Structure formats: C-alpha cells, structure tokens
C-alpha cells in the first residue's frame, strides 16, 4: 500500500500536468527534439581521431617519394675484398691429437708460421727422434732436454702440450739454434731448415749431416688421449 506522502506527490504532479496548456506541452516537446538534433549535429562535427604511426609513414613516403635512374652504360667495377684465415689454437690441436697437430703446436708456441715446409720438417724431425709409430714416447717427441729432467733428452713432460711449449722455448733460448729460428720464421725451403738442424747442437750425431734423415712421407699417427 502506498504511503500518504507518495499519494500526495502523485496527485500534485497530475494537477500540474492538467494545468499546463496543450500548446505549452507541444512547445516543450518541439524544444526537446531540437536540442536532441543539435546534440547529434555536434557529435557529427567532432574531429576525427589522430592518424596512426603507419598512416604517418604512408603519408611521408607519398610526399617524399624518390626515384633513381641508372644508365644502362654504367661500367661494372670489380670490388677487391680482404682475405682472412684462422689459426688453430691449443685446444683444437690437442683435440686433433696427431703428430702433425703436435708439430703445429710447436710452431704456435714459438710464433712461427704453420706452413707446409715447417710442418713437414718438424714431423720428419720427430720421426728421427722417436719413430713415427711412437712419436709421443715419454711425452717428449723431439727428445728435448730443456725442462724435462733429462739433460740428454731422455726426460719427460707432464703432457704433449707442455712438451711443445718447452721445445719452442728451448729453440729460442739457445744461441746455437739461431739458424733454425731464422729458417722457421721465414718458412724457408725444407732443405734449408733441415741443414740448420743438422748443423746445430741439438743432436750430438748431427744426424750424420743428413745421412740419417728420411724423406719419405710421414704417416699421420694419433697419440693416446692421455698423453695430452
């Protein structure tokens, strides 16, 4: 059931409407419709949203388009490119594990080029000292006395990496090996390097001045992994 206050408000509103002339109500209705149309027109006249980044790029390209024309008679010029090479490091050579890898490791330790002539002479030299099939004997492929504990070259090293470093150091520390150093540094022909070895004090026999030297190709032989 409605309260007396609600009933009073409803009756007052009905009385007010009854007293409003029809023309006035029509005028109010027309005014309301006009305001609605005005609001719609204002909404239609609102500015569009700002352009996106993609729209700006398209517009810029359209306004600043460029054209490049190349003559058919342009001569083609060759471009010289620098060459490059990679030098294997200690880990790479040790992983290879062959007598050729050890020869290159000696050259790497001494700062000498790893050329065919240098590698060939060193592998021949190793074969003269320990033979090809057991070149890693006592972890001392060149029977080097420097730092091995054996003055006559009968000592040994903890591993073949150390042996290579000690071989290079021995050649660099003894003035009697200067001709060998010069030949390796210049990657001289094999006979020049070998003559320098024979004339040096490395071996008391001087390899019979080449009489005890073999020139046959040296087989590639891998040392046991534990030797490195």
Residues in a beta bridge with 98: 222
More confident residue, 53 or 121: 121
Domain assignment present for 49: yes
Q: What is the pLDDT of residues 166-194, one digit of tens each?
A: 999 999 999 999 999 999 999 999 999 99
Q: Is the pLDDT reported for residue 14 higher than 70?
A: no
Domain assignment present for 138: yes
Confidence category of residue 71, pLDDT binned at 50, 70, 90: confident
Residues 113 and 218 in one domain: yes
Residues 95 and 195 in one domain: yes
Residues 177 and 220 in one domain: yes
Q: What is the mean pLDDT of the chain?
A: 84
What's the domain range around 107? Answer: 90-227
- pLDDT value for 67: 76
Q: How many folded domains does the chain comprise? A: 2
More confident residue, 54 or 101: 101
Q: What is the pLDDT of residues 124-137, one digit of tens each?
A: 999 999 998 999 99
Mean pLDDT check: name the lowest of 119-123, 147-151, 160-164.
147-151
Residues 36 and 106 in one domain: no
Residues 210 and 110 in one domain: yes
Residues 155/145, Cβ–Cβ less than 8 Å: yes
Residues 204/143, Cβ–Cβ less than 8 Å: no
Residues 26 and 134 in one domain: no
Residues 44 and 152 in one domain: no
Confidence category of residue 123, pLDDT binned at 50, 70, 90: very high
For the residues 131-160, what does the mean pLDDT come to?
93
- pLDDT value for 35: 54
CA torsion angle 183 186 190 193 (round to 10): 0
Residues 111 and 171 in one domain: yes
Pick from 113, 110, 102: nearest CA to 159: 102
- pLDDT value for 28: 47
Residues 146 and 208 in one domain: yes
Residues 16 and 55 in one domain: yes
More confident residue, 60 or 93: 93
pTM: 0.64
Q: Is the pLDDT reported for residue 215 higher than 90?
A: yes
């Amino acid at each position: 059931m409605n309260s007396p206050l609600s009933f009073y408000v409803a009756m007052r509103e009905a009385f007010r409407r009854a007293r409003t002339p029809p023309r006035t109500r029509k005028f109010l209705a027309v005014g309301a419709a006009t305001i609605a149309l005005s609001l719609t027109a204002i909404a239609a006249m609102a500015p569009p949203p700002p352009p996106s980044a993609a729209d700006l790029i398209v517009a810029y390209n359209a306004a600043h388009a460029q054209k490049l024309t190349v003559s058919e008679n342009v001569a083609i010029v060759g471009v010289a490119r620098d060459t490059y090479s990679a030098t294997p490091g200690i880990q790479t050579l040790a992983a290879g594990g062959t007598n050729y890898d050890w020869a290159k490791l000696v050259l790497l330790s001494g700062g000498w080029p790893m050329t065919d002539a240098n590698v060939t002479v060193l592998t021949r030299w190793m074969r003269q000292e320990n033979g090809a099939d057991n070149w890693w004997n006592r972890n001392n492929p060149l029977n080097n006395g420097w730092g091995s504990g054996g003055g006559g070259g009968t000592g040994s090293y903890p591993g073949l990496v150390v042996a290579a470093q000690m071989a290079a150091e021995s050649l660099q520390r003894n003035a009697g090996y200067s001709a060998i150093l010069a030949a390796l540094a210049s990657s001289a022909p094999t006979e020049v390097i070998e003559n320098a070895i024979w004339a040096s004090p490395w071996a008391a026999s001087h390899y019979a001045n080449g009489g005890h030297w073999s020139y046959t190709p040296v087989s590639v032989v891998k040392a046991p992994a534990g030797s490195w």
